[in-house]
């Protein structure tokens, strides 16, 4: 019975972001390089409307 309660509590806590309605935006771009190859960029921004916190993640990959 304790296992079921623990799993239920974990499910409720992990779904908090979905219930609160966090806003997420994601963008991607590919650009050609000056000497060949290309650059791939991804940016993800998440905003929590309850607390006002904003989190941004940016990655850039370059190939030759």
Decide if 42 is inside a domain: yes
| Phi, psi (degrees; rounded to nearest 5) at 20 | -70, -20
pLDDT value at residue 49: 83
Say what percent of the chain tops pLDDT 70: 84
Question: Which of the 8 DSSP states describes residue 64?
Answer: -
- State which residues form the domain around 38: 21-59
Strand pairing partners for 61?
40
Decide if 30 is inside a domain: yes
pLDDT value at residue 46: 93
How does pLDDT run across 33-61, given as a tens digit for each residue? Answer: 888 889 999 999 999 888 889 999 999 99
How many domains is the chain partitioned into structurally? 1
Decide if 36 is inside a domain: yes
State pTM to two decimals. Answer: 0.57
Decide if 8 is inside a domain: no
Decide if 7 is inside a domain: no
């Amino acid at each position: 019975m304790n296992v079921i309660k623990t799993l239920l509590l974990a499910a409720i806590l992990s779904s908090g972001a979905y219930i609160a309605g966090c806003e997420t935006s994601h963008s991607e771009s590919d650009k050609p390089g000056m000497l060949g190859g290309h650059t791939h960029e991804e940016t993800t921004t998440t905003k929590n409307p309850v607390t006002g916190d904003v989190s941004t993640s940016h990655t850039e990959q370059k190939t030759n």
